[in-house]
Amino acid sequence: MNNSFRLRRMRMMDDRRAPEFAKIVARCLIVRALRRASLRYALYGQPCMIAFVLPLASDADIFVEAAQDILRSRCRSRDRGAADYKVVYWNKPKPVRKPSVPDTNLREMLAENRVFVFVSEMESLSPSVRSALDGIVEMATPDNDVLKMAARAITKRTVPDDVISAVAGEPLSLLNEVFKPNRDPAPIVRRLARARDVGPDQRHIRSAVEQPTLDDLHGLGEAAVWGRELAKDLADFREGLLPWADVDRGVLVSGPTGTGKTTFAQALARTCNVPIHIHSLARWQARGYLNDLLKAMRAAFDEARKAAPCVLFVDEVDSFGDRETLDGKNEQYCREVINAFLECLDGIEGREGVVVVGASNLPGKIDKAILRPGRLGKHVRIPLPDAEARIGILRHHLRGELASEDIKAVAIRLEGASGAVIEQAVRDARRKARSERRPMVIADLQHGLPIRIVQSERAFLRACVHEAGHAVVGHLLGIESGSRLVETQVFREVLQDGSGGKTAFCHMPGLDRGKAAYLAQITILLAGIAAENAIFGHHAEGGGGEDDSDLHQATLIAATMEISLGLGESLVYLSSRHPAAVLSRVRLDAPLRHRVSKVLTECFERAKALVGERATSFNAVVRVLQENGHASAHDIERLVGAGGNTSDFRQSVTGSVTADEASSDRGFRGSG
């Protein structure tokens, strides 16, 4: 009897702790909210101060304990323990008027490395605390996927969908009484029916915070245009006005690291007003062996079909590999994974209503079958943001701060930065102001900018000459190469490892791609250093040194013509056009290296001759770049179209700067 009493007492004490089912749900919601608000760095030990607005005040203790579990598990050092973070809950109906109280709260929080603040109302946050926060996240109520996952973890069985739908929106504290370990669904349904009699006041649900849509984001380029069109098509599909066969069911989104491919997918789902399921090969591989991976992959597509219409996002699609380049002991494993992914994309049972969005930084490494129409047949690119987009991204992350300040100069200094870098700059500025316990000012934003080096006049002149060479020769050989000039830019300020300029081209589809086209393309790539040679007598380091440099690309094209395309001295096919395979062949094959060198030399001399023939036009382009820092395709067409010859154009370009002085200044890299 005594033991029975003790056991009952222990159970009562256990019930006082945060319920296990509720903690599972709360942890999922916190992690998801941080990721969707682009605050995921808080999960990886970085300093932060974030506020969470709860949908129900009654669930505060659950969320506080769940947050403590998250932060405790992320502590890198056991010695720091609880001192590494702080989780607080404020339930003040109005901001406290006495200045000492919020200042004290703020001072206490600033002493911690990571701080999570939970409030039931936004008004609970004083102005001083709001200015110190990295972000304010309004928590959403748990959706069916989260509830189903937690219910299965607790009950050790699959809970019917109708039961999950019936409990959606109930307080977590109440749901913990519904879902108990090893209990079958029948008692759960009966408990739910009784729970609904508690009254509507306990079931008040606040609407979730509106996350950014495509209209709120900047710098997405053609990806945003495609996304808005998809939103219209999905709306018509739901209304029965458009058959699924007419909807783009798959897209590959590519772009440099940090341009916001995952953010685009989330904004796409919100614009389309559909749920999003986020996955990756790495996440599926974490399930275990090959069979577990394949089960996880198929389960992801099954769940998406049940939630249709929806977006299924697969990150890092290039990690699947390319079956043409597979070799070694893992070849069979990788081949089976790719084949299974293709089956899921095709869908034996169909995947009507499921739009698959794949993301990759390296689209050239993706198996061609994955990119076939009907799978990920559409390819849209997210470029690095231009000046206007950078201003928009800054304003988005500033969240209304510095509204009266002109941030154009900051955006200019962030030339070449991705959206992630811009976000980090704002976060650093906010942290600097927070550490000094004052509102953020424009100087804080400038303080966190990447360090740039101001080029000397001589280095800037060389950059102008280099990019003018690309622009002039690219314009003259545009039709022959099958490419069109977009824009030329030069920079007076460059990153320590950055380039002094860039010239962008785009390929024109449907044109002849024979030997002449490839040779013209090589000539355009080498036109930068050819122009330097024509003006200064020799070229600097700006044409090489990196995998995306002019020399790397030109060498790759020339070698591919010889050993893969049958456009060289022989028709023999020796290798695929995969860059690693081609360059490996060049390094090992001396005769091939000699033939490639001969092609590069001939194209280099041709580019140099074209620059000399259009000396007047070339000089004019250099002057425009020196004065404006950029030239559009229209500018180049106007200037080169009126070009002529001069007897000596070295002096007219260099002016008072001699060839020796100009060539002695390095420190930048040109790009083609």
Q: DSSP of 71-87, one letter per residue?
A: HHHH-S-TTTGGGGEEE
The answer to whether the predicted template modeling score (pTM) of the entire model surpasses 0.85 is no
User: Per-residue pLDDT averaged across 76-98, rounded?
Assistant: 55
Report the chain's mean pLDDT, rounded to a whole number: 79
| Residue, of 58 and 343, whose pLDDT is higher | 343
| pLDDT tens per residue, range 464-511 | 999 999 999 999 998 898 888 888 988 887 765 567 788 888 877 767
Q: Is the pLDDT at 117 greater than 90, yes or no? A: no
Q: Is the pLDDT at 249 greater than 80, yes or no? A: yes
For residues 519 and 567, what is the distance between their CA atoms, to the nearest angstrom? 10
43-57, 115-129, 425-439: range with highest mean pLDDT: 425-439
For residues 581 and 575, what is the distance between their CA atoms, to the nearest angstrom? 7
Question: Is omega for the bond preceding 309 within 30 degrees of 0, making it cis?
Answer: yes
For residues 234 and 212, what is the distance between their CA atoms, to the nearest angstrom? 19
Q: Tell how far CA 448 is from the center of its chain.
A: 21
Specify the pLDDT at position 14: 41
User: Per-residue pLDDT averaged across 630-636, rounded?
Assistant: 89
Which residue has 């929106």 as its token pair?
A: 169
Q: Is the pLDDT at 102 greater than 70, yes or no? A: no
Partners of 354 in beta bridges: 310
Closest Cα to residue 331, out of 318, 322, 319, 343? 322
Specify the pLDDT at position 475: 92
| Residue, of 173 and 300, whose pLDDT is higher | 300
| Residue, of 65 and 653, whose pLDDT is higher | 65
93-97, 397-401, 626-630: least confident range? 93-97
Specify the pLDDT at position 172: 78
| pLDDT tens per residue, range 344-371 | 998 766 788 999 999 998 888 899 899 9
Specify the pLDDT at position 338: 92
Specify the pLDDT at position 397: 87
Q: Is the pLDDT at 668 greater than 90, yes or no? A: no
CB atoms within 10 A of CB 430: 24
User: Per-residue pLDDT averaged across 514-518, rounded?
Assistant: 91
Q: Is the pLDDT at 110 greater than 70, yes or no? A: no
| pLDDT tens per residue, range 300-316 | 999 998 888 999 999 99
CB atoms within 10 A of CB 40: 13
What does the block give as tokens for 181? 């370990």
Specify the pLDDT at position 570: 86
Confidence band, pLDDT 50/70/90 cuts, at residue 227: very high
User: Per-residue pLDDT averaged across 331-353, rounded?
Assistant: 85
| pLDDT tens per residue, range 237-248 | 988 899 988 998
| pLDDT tens per residue, range 269-289 | 999 989 999 998 888 987 778
Q: Is the pLDDT at 651 greater than 70, yes or no? A: no
Count of helix runs (H) and strand runs (E) in the chain: 29, 14
According to DSSP, the β-strands at 501-507 and 483-490 are: antiparallel
Q: Which residues of 202-219 are buried (b: 16+ CB within 10 A; e: fewer)?
A: eeeeeeeeebbbbeebbb
Q: What amino acid is encoded at 19 in this protein? A: P
What does the block give as tokens for 118? 């939970």
| Residue, of 12 and 217, whose pLDDT is higher | 217
For residues 138 and 55, what is the distance between their CA atoms, to the nearest angstrom? 8
Partners of 250 in beta bridges: 356
Task: Count CA atoms closer than 13 A to 649's CA, side-chain side.
Answer: 26
Q: Is the pLDDT at 5 greater than 60, yes or no? A: no
Confidence band, pLDDT 50/70/90 cuts, at residue 662: very low
For residues 299 and 345, what is the distance between their CA atoms, to the nearest angstrom? 13
| pLDDT tens per residue, range 133-162 | 888 888 877 887 788 888 777 777 777 776
106-110, 337-341, 412-416, 528-532: least confident range? 106-110
Q: Is the pLDDT at 77 greater than 50, yes or no? A: no
Domains defined along the chain, listed by start: 20-209 (no CATH), 214-381 (3.40.50.300), 387-450 (1.10.8.60), 457-664 (1.20.58.760)
Three-state SS for 290-339 is HHHHHHHHHHHHHHHHHHCCEEEEEECHHHHCCCCCCCCCCHHHHHHHHH
Confidence band, pLDDT 50/70/90 cuts, at residue 184: low
Specify the pLDDT at position 430: 87
Specify the pLDDT at position 477: 92
For residues 24 and 78, what is the distance between their CA atoms, to the nearest angstrom? 24
Q: What amino acid is encoded at 410 in this protein? A: V
Specify the pLDDT at position 97: 39
Q: What amino acid is encoded at 627 in this protein? A: E
Q: Is the pLDDT at 552 greater than 60, yes or no? A: yes
Q: Is the pLDDT at 187 greater than 60, yes or no? A: no
